[in-house]
Each structure stands twice: as structure tokens, then as C-alpha cells.
């Protein structure tokens, strides 16, 4: 992720969030040094959001989003709240929300202006263990596929909201629905993990904490006994420890439930938590073979 791509993504997300908002909220990229003079130049049309990249390093990208209002602008607090909500969701579906801090820029100089200024500081870390956790091959998608395989040959299995709606509308019972919830990030003590890929090349990553995704597995059937009969015998197979890029993922059963579904079907469900380490992107580690440093421009034999 680069400063430019982060700025473009943030601007697009804010524009989408305020696309139907009234009064109109203006969203612009901003690359200058922010000051009251700059705010007055940019504040001809308000409310306005200025998206400014600040820095990028091994931890991730930092952005600032400046909110500009005139005292006559309506719904200022709603604009601030919706802006924060959109920025927290920049990581994408299934990823932990980003850390966003907001504060007023009121001071003695700002009081001389008719502008009301706020700044939202965004920390956008290099998250997760590889690809998007919900993408094909990502840890959440992979775990949903593993769980689905447990029901192979028994009944249809829906792994997306669209598939589940189609099965519910078909009234064809029984079937299984597997859905993931939103991830929650918990920061932990940083540690380094090294691993070899399929070609034997050595990589390392820094683990920053963990993310937990709830996954719900529900059996829809004609009767409660049929629903429980599909699900309960497999409970012992749901807990799991997986490995991806040298990092362990853990699946734990946290809740059981049975009752009636919206379509009148009997439903038995279980919720598991998938715990995934959150780490930086992998870095190649130079290896020594017969006293020769490989994977560098300069090789020196001792």
C-alpha cells in the first residue's frame, strides 16, 4: 500500500459515504501543508473534507482528513460521525476497523475565522496474513471451506449471503448456512516469526496482535431433531488449528443454539471464533549456503 493508493481509497470511500447526504459534502485530495490560511483558501464551499497522506513505513500508512465547516453549515456532528465511520471501514469487509482519532482545531487564531476545523487521524496498518481474509485462500474463506467439507454429501451448503437467501426462498430442506461476522482486532506484544515457503526460501513477519472472526454454522431442517442431528455429531470436528505462512490460526466453539428460523424451519446453530494473527507483510531473509550470501547483488566467499 502506498501513500497515493491510501489517499485515493480514503477519498473514494468518503465520496461514497456522502453520495446522498444533504447538504452536499465536498471531498478533495490535499497534498499541501495544512494551515489556517490554506483552510480559508479551501473553505469557499463547505462542508468539505480534505484527505491528506502524512507518512508510510513498515507499520503502515498515516492519513489526516481535515473537516471544514462554516458556522452556518447544518448537520456538522453527523458529518463528523459519518466521516469517522467511513474511515474506520477502510480496511475492507472482514478486517478489523482502523484506529481513527478526531479532535477540534480550535485555537485563538481559528476563532478569528468563520471556519470550524476538525482533523481525523487515521492509522492504516499493513494487516493480516497475506491476502484479504475473505478472499479465496484467505484464512476466513479457507476455514469456511474446511467447515463446509464436513457436511459433504449430506445436504446443500451456503457460504455466502446470496446462496443462503436462495436456499431459504427455495424452501428446500435441509441445508447448511455458514456466515462470518466482523473481525475484531486485539493488539499484542510484537514478535517475529520466520518460515520457509514451498520453495524453501526463508521469510519473516512481525506479528502485531490477533484478529477474531465469528463464524456461524446453522442447520435448517423440517424439525429440531433433524437440525440437531445434522450439526451436533460434527461438533467435535469444528475446533481446529491451522497454519498459514508460519502463523497458527485457531478455531474455537463458543456458542450453541436451537430454535425456529424466519422461514418457519427448525434451526440448530453453533458459533465458532476463528483467531488469526495479524502481521506485517513477509520480508525475504538472506540465507547462507557454503559461506555464500544468496539473494543479494554482492556474493562473497570467505
Q: What digits encode the pLDDT tens for the residues 263-282?
A: 678 999 999 999 888 777 67
Q: Which triple of cell numbers denotes residue 38?
A: 490554506
**What CATH number should be reported for the domain whose range is 3-125?**
3.30.2000
Which fold, 139-284?
STM4215-like (3.30.2000)
Closest CA to 49 of 88, 99, 7: 7
Q: What is the pLDDT of residue 109?
A: 59
* pTM metric for this prediction: 0.56
Q: What is the pLDDT of residue 296?
A: 38
Query: Phi and psi at residue 12, in whole multiples of 5°?
Result: -65, -40
Q: What is the pLDDT of residue 58?
A: 67
Instruction: Specify the residue for cell string 474506520.
Output: 88
Instruction: Specify the residue for cell string 505462512.
Output: 245
CB neighbourhood size of 197 (10 A) = 12
Q: Please, where in the chain does CATH 3.30.2000.10 lie?
A: 139-284
Helix (H) or strand (E) holding 198: none
Closest CA to 100 of 114, 117, 81: 81
* pLDDT > 70 in the chain, percent: 85
Q: What is the pLDDT of residue 301?
A: 38
Mean pLDDT of 162-190: 85
Instruction: Specify the residue for cell string 490535499.
Output: 30
Q: Give the pLDDT band of residue 188 (cuts 50, 70, 90).
A: confident
Q: What is the pLDDT of residue 269?
A: 93
Q: What is the pLDDT of residue 206?
A: 80
According to the per-residue pLDDT averaged within each range, which of 123-127, 169-173, 233-237, 298-302 is highest?
233-237
Whether residue 302 is predicted with pLDDT greater than 70 in this model: the reply is no
Mean pLDDT of 99-111: 76
Whether residue 110 is predicted with pLDDT greater than 70 in this model: the reply is no
Whether residue 135 is predicted with pLDDT greater than 70 in this model: the reply is no
Amino acid at each position: 500500500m502506498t501513500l497515493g493508493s491510501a489517499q485515493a481509497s480514503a477519498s473514494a470511500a468518503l465520496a461514497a459515504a456522502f453520495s446522498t447526504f444533504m447538504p452536499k459534502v465536498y471531498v478533495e485530495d490535499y497534498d499541501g501543508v495544512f494551515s489556517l490560511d490554506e483552510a480559508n483558501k479551501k473553505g469557499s464551499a463547505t462542508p468539505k473534507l480534505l484527505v491528506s497522506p502524512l507518512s508510510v513505513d513498515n507499520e503502515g500508512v498515516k492519513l489526516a482528513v481535515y473537516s471544514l465547516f462554516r458556522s452556518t453549515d447544518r448537520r456538522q456532528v453527523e458529518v463528523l460521525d459519518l466521516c469517522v465511520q467511513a474511515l474506520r471501514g477502510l480496511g475492507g469487509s472482514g478486517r478489523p476497523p482502523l484506529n481513527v482519532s478526531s479532535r477540534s482545531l480550535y485555537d485563538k487564531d481559528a476563532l478569528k475565522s468563520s471556519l470550524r476545523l476538525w482533523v481525523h487521524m487515521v492509522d492504516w496498518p499493513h494487516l493480516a496474513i497475506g491476502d484479504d481474509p475473505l478472499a479465496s485462500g484467505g484464512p476466513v474463506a479457507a476455514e469456511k471451506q474446511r467447515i463446509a467439507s464436513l457436511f459433504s454429501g449430506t445436504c446443500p451448503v451456503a457460504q455466502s449471503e446470496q446462496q443462503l437467501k436462495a436456499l431459504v426462498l427455495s424452501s428446500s430442506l435441509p441445508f447448511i448456512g455458514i456466515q462470518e461476522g466482523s473481525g475484531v482486532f486485539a493488539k499484542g506484544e510484537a514478535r517475529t516469526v520466520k518460515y520457509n515457503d514451498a520453495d524453501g526460501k526463508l521469510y519473516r513477519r512481525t506479528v502485531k496482535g490477533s484478529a477474531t472472526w465469528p463464524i456461524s454454522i446453522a442447520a435448517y431442517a423440517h424439525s429440531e431433531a433433524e437440525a440437531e442431528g445434522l450439526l451436533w455429531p460434527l461438533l467435535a470436528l469444528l475446533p481446529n488449528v491451522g497454519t498459514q505462512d508460519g502463523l497458527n490460526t485457531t478455531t474455537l466453539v463458543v456458542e450453541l443454539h436451537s430454535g425456529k428460523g424466519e422461514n418457519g424451519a427448525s434451526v440448530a446453530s453453533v458459533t465458532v471464533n476463528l483467531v488469526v494473527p495479524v502481521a506485517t507483510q513477509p520480508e525475504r531473509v538472506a540465507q547462507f549456503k557454503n559461506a555464500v550470501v544468496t539473494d543479494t547483488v554482492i556474493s562473497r566467499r570467505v
